[in-house]
Structure 1
Amino acid sequence: MPRSGAEARRRLQQAALELYRERGFDQTTTAEIAARAGVNERTFFRHFPDKREVLFDGEADLRAALTQSVAEAPDDLQPLEILLRAFRKAEGILEGNRPFAEPRLRVIAETPALRERDLAKAASMSEALAEALRRRGVPDRLAGLAAQTGWAAFHHAMQDWIDDPSRSLDAHLLQAFDDLRALSLTVPPAQASTQASALAQARPGD
């Protein structure tokens, strides 16, 4: 039997992940998760409200770390730079959970009910970041856009980190935000074609 609440929680998470991968999320019960973890079902519900939340543990800690970092960022940073700084400061939380992160993402990707919960969690996190930016004086519309865009870049970096563990999460975060900046500087192909045609028509003697 696990000797502490933290140990029981960790074993429940690991047991759930194993069973979801073996049998599928829909076919796994909370009683089976508890039995695999060596605890009773009542212990499961002391730690998690339902079997979906086992895979989303740590969200509150991440939210608190990100919003605090946004609040403490230097005044001279732009919104996206504030968010990048926050994501980089939270890297320790995510790096420490890496063994759980990869299989977790795969289970979520394969399970409609979990994808729905993941989207809801992402929207909630994005809104928390937007509110943190608003409290810094960022206009409402820009705060929402920055939070949604920044969270998308963060999610992209997380997936790249899972796919390419040879580079740190920090390196993937920096790359994702560099790519985001590059997108805003790149002329779309259709626009570039239109501009080229306009220049050609404007040449003397044509």
Structure 2
Amino acid sequence: MPRWNPHAEDRLREAALELFLEHGYENVTVAEITERAGLTRRSFSRYFTDKRDVLFAESEQLPAALARSVRHAGDSLSSFEALLAALVDVADMLADQAPAPLAAQRRAVVRASPELQERGRTKFAAVTDAVADALRDRSAAESEATLLAQVGVAIFRTAFERWTDRPDDVGLPARIWEAAAELATSLGAVDFTTPPPPVTRSPRMDERYLRTPRH
């Protein structure tokens, strides 16, 4: 076997995904991944730090990539417009790196593992912080930057799920624009000049609430 295999990383990733889907992430070892790929542990260590890295290595670039795109968006754009432009820009990059079928497999593995779900939440928290910092650099107010960053992550996650569920319909950038447009339409239907009416609770609901211990 040659000392360097140009397709080793792809083989390891494919082997890992196959095993994760067959047996569950928690039940697969690095040794089993390398054996399925026909490679060595040394080859695995050249590309990944551990088996979790097989799923998240590329996504570690997401916070920095989104923040960079937000900062480089046109000066004439509003904070929200800059955020949308950045989401679409990075979506093109992600779609090239991980085609929809591969992304769908990764998503299925993550959804079946509490450990990986927690890792995913940590990842998106890092994305939110990085985007908020970039929006502040564009002179967005502190609270506005935080709110818009959270909204942007929600748009991205919704679009990503739709893209992996129906990859043959449209691409990831179009899904992002679609999710953002739906949000804008929903907000446009709200009259923000008039406060909403108070919520009417039934007496029984109020009684249960009062009896519930609060800490």
Give the Cα separation in 1 of the matches to 2:77 and 2:179: 18
Q: Is the 1:2–1:38 Cα contact (8 Å) retained in structure 2?
A: no
Aligned runs of 1:11-160 on 2, under 5 Å? 11-96=11-96, 97-98=98-99, 99-160=101-162
* Equivalent residue number for residue 175 of structure 2: 172
* Equivalent residue number for residue 163 of structure 2: 161
> What amino acid maps onto 2:68 in structure 1?
Q
Superposition RMSD in Å: 2.3
Give the Cα separation in 2 of the matches to 1:80 and 1:5: 44
Q: Is the 1:2–1:8 Cα contact (8 Å) retained in structure 2?
A: no
Q: Greater relative contact order: 1 or 2 (C-alpha under 8 angstroms, separation 6 or more)? A: 2
> What amino acid maps onto 1:157 in structure 2?
A
Q: TM-score, normalised by structure 1?
A: 0.84
How far 1:147 sits from its partner (Å)?
Answer: 0.7
Aligned length: 193
How far 1:192 sits from its partner (Å)?
Answer: 9.8
Q: Is the 2:104–2:164 Cα contact (8 Å) retained in structure 1?
A: yes
- For each residue in 1:1-59, what CA deviation from the matched residue of structure 2 results, as whole angstroms up to 9, or x when unmatched? 57646622222111110100011111100111111122212322232222112101212
How far 1:108 sits from its partner (Å)?
Answer: 0.5
Structure 1 gaps, min length 5: 196-206
Instruction: Quote the sequence identity (%).
Output: 39
> What amino acid maps onto 1:124 in structure 2?
A
Give the Cα separation in 2 of the matches to 1:6 and 1:83: 36
Q: Runs of at least 4 residues of structure 1 off by over 4 A?
A: 1-6, 191-195
SS of structure 2 residue aligned to 1:26: helix
How far 1:126 sits from its partner (Å)?
Answer: 1.2
| Shift in CA distance, 173/2, structure 1 to aligned 2, threshold 3 Å | farther
Q: Is the 2:87–2:156 Cα contact (8 Å) retained in structure 1?
A: yes
Give the Cα separation in 1 of the matches to 2:118 and 2:46: 24
Q: Is the 1:31–1:41 Cα contact (8 Å) retained in structure 2?
A: yes
Bigger helix fraction: 1
Structure 2 gaps, min length 5: 199-215
SS of structure 2 residue aligned to 1:90: helix
> What amino acid maps onto 2:110 in structure 1?
I
SS of structure 2 residue aligned to 1:187: coil
* Equivalent residue number for residue 186 of structure 1: 189
